[in-house]
A and B are shown apart, each in its own frame.
Chain A
């Protein structure tokens, strides 16, 4: 377009020149008068010029037309541009509208999300309240427990001390919360507790004893248990259970048993010894009929003595201090001595006693001689007592690398299937046995089981009703 414009300018310049020439022509009119020749010449010139002018006029017209055309094109272009712009503006508006709509939608969505979020927050709040309530409940439960409790988190920091523990240890929960036990050893009771649990808060399954001297001597059983959430250990609790009363009761029971045993045994021993002396003829002659009666009295007295000894044994078993005197002793000798002791009974019941002596010497074992005697005596005695006339009781011993196996096999009444399970329970007597012998205490096998197990052995049996029973027990061999 620049090129065209400079062309136009040139044409305007040309027009100006023409104008100047026209003016000059007017001036030339004056000069016409001067010479004809000159006039002639000038006329020709004028004609030429006129022709040029005419041509110029045409050119001018053409230029004007061109200009006009140019102008029109420009106008069209401007119009097109305007339209474009207008369209652009309209498009923009559309876009803006669309954008606005999108934004509104987004805003709505956001509002929705916000509401949802608020709902979630509300739920979370509810859950939090619920958790809080649950926590309070747990706390209330823990605080009302009459055992002392100290709860630790997994970093071993105290998160709860219940009132019972506060009282026992003379501490305030508020003073120790969030602290480790090592930080509060200034409290003397806490220090003592810490010593009692071997200076570590660890779940070992072990029980510790903790004694507080003031204001009165009290005994506590300390248990350390883990708090698990799923598979994760989230903390530990120290539980302090007051066993002062248990200890006192246990002491009183021991004392009672000692006194009762003594008091009961004293008249029984007087009867026993008196009868014995009369039977021996130490105090004069007795008729054979009198001897029979005195023997029966003596036997009844013996049963009474056994019963009291059983009760004393039970009480010692329950105190957990029954086996106290282990020594290396010959099992063979125990069996022989027991057989000697029971030979009278076996003759009376017409039952044959057989001891299958081992061919090789038995390995040494460390046992409480009196207690193992009691086991063997009990088992053989049962075998004889609950047998049939002409039956047998066979005792045999064998061993492997770990255990000695003692077998007592009888051909007696057997143990009814239904009752086999309860045979080792305290005071239990099988039905068929009660009919045969009314006097037993039902303590014998319970005592046997406890003695054998206290030695690290096991006892079991195989039995068929009316065919017989085999009791087997094991004793570990000393290495």
Chain B
């Protein structure tokens, strides 16, 4: 009996030791596997979804110009939640609001005693934080009763599901592009299927463009499926045909970004585990700081650079503006431009790395 037990223990030890030996042969995979979750969850979650929103841009149109209204504006200025842009006319403020350069308009009409707040509820947290900040500033004005009238211009009653949906669709596209572009290429290379393409009398351009096209098709199908699922789950989409057209365009650009990344990674990393680790190390932080789960205004300063270079930030913002607020070209123009730049840049980078790896 004891002998059997000793033998079993020895065998367990043998199996254990062999696996650890393999594990230590790939330090990159081992280290990143050990670090990835604590790093991503503690560092990024805690600092990206801290719950405190800073510097939300709002427009203030002061038609009264009296001492009380100046004081209320002064109170608002002291609040760290909002960042005030003083705009002389309501029409001008509306233009900025339409383009979502300001998230709300505070209109103080002549004769004081009243404040009109024009809101955009496409981000529920942002809109309630702004409302709270304005209410506090008005209440701080002692000895006065101020009537605050709220008027929701965009996305009345948008839910968190509505808020979450655009970012999830973007992420679905991104993952789809990374996988159908990168992983399938990686497998074909390992299995020798890829060599069949390389010895065939077709050009490298045809190979790579064919691969890209198929990956784009796959990721677009999964992205559109995500839209359908979101709608079935009750997410409201408030856009017409032109908005939908731009949404599709957006999805294409996102798939270009991550397809390029996937292809480039495959050119440099041939080990499947290392590939997966690298992918997670890149894509999870990019996603978590993109503003999908919580407004981007809540992330700490040292995560902002990641948000700035992440194509998902622009894509999520633009998708949200289209899907929740209803389509206004001015509200997505900048995002679309930046995204196109990153998208085509990454695609070219991917193609170049691929060519270098096969020639």
Whether chains A and B associate is no
Chain A contacts to B: CB under 8 angstroms: none
Chain B contacts to A: CB under 8 angstroms: none
